[in-house]
Amino acid sequence: MFKFLKNIMNNGQVNFTNDAYSLHRILKTDIKKDPNVEEDEIIFGCGCFWGAEKCFWKLPGVVTTSVGYAGGEKSNPTYYEVCSGLTGHSEVVRVIWDKREIDVSDLLKMFWECHDPTQKNRQGNDMGTQYRSAIYYKNENNIKTILASKEQYQTELSKKNLGLIETEIKMIDSYFYAEQYHQQYLASAGSRQYCSASPTKVKLGVFTGSNYKLEDHIWENFNWEVDKCVLRSDNNPIKNNI
């Protein structure tokens, strides 16, 4: 992915503006909004943030998504700096959701199932600390649910003789938006349909504190048995009603 981005950046085909108001290409919401009292936010690292963001914007009840950098030390890092591995940041997706329509347990189900959390500092062909599996939260009320989901998913992985979860879980204060051309990249004209995620095909079931709000038919849109499943689907959000 890095070589591809270097080529298009050198060709002047990108916009480096990182401060202007940004409208979500699909959801038509402000990607830089703060959650209101009926909303919450969480940040996920699932490898390359292009495909990961699409997984979450498709879920009913998600208000907005954006991609960025988090978990490290440097303020306002660039993509080049993050890829160097020297900033300590990972590529992440920031998700704001409506708590009346979707629960954090639904988002955690997507997180655990859409990539392989047993891979350390990599995801598929993408290698480096910036591709590590991570959950960064800002609301302390979510930590018990996060840890309970991890414990349950580890139980399911162990049944399949898969490895230990390497996901970094911690509370953070800072999130830095990625360059504008990365935002909802897979929905942009002429985009390279790339995703490095390597789902384990193991599903997360009911766990302590889970309060799933999405119906089964929503998850039928994500067949992790099919390689690069998320790339095969359209960009539109899934409707909650059949």
Active site residues: 48
**Three-class DSSP category at 199:** coil
- 143, with CB counted inside 10 A (0-12, 13-18, 19+), is middle
97 contacts 64 by C-beta, under 8 angstroms: no
Contacts of 168 (CB under 8 A, 6+ apart): 45, 71, 90, 132, 133, 134, 135
Question: Which H/E stretch holds residue 40?
Answer: strand 39-46
Contacts of 234 (CB under 8 A, 6+ apart): none
91 contacts 76 by C-beta, under 8 angstroms: no
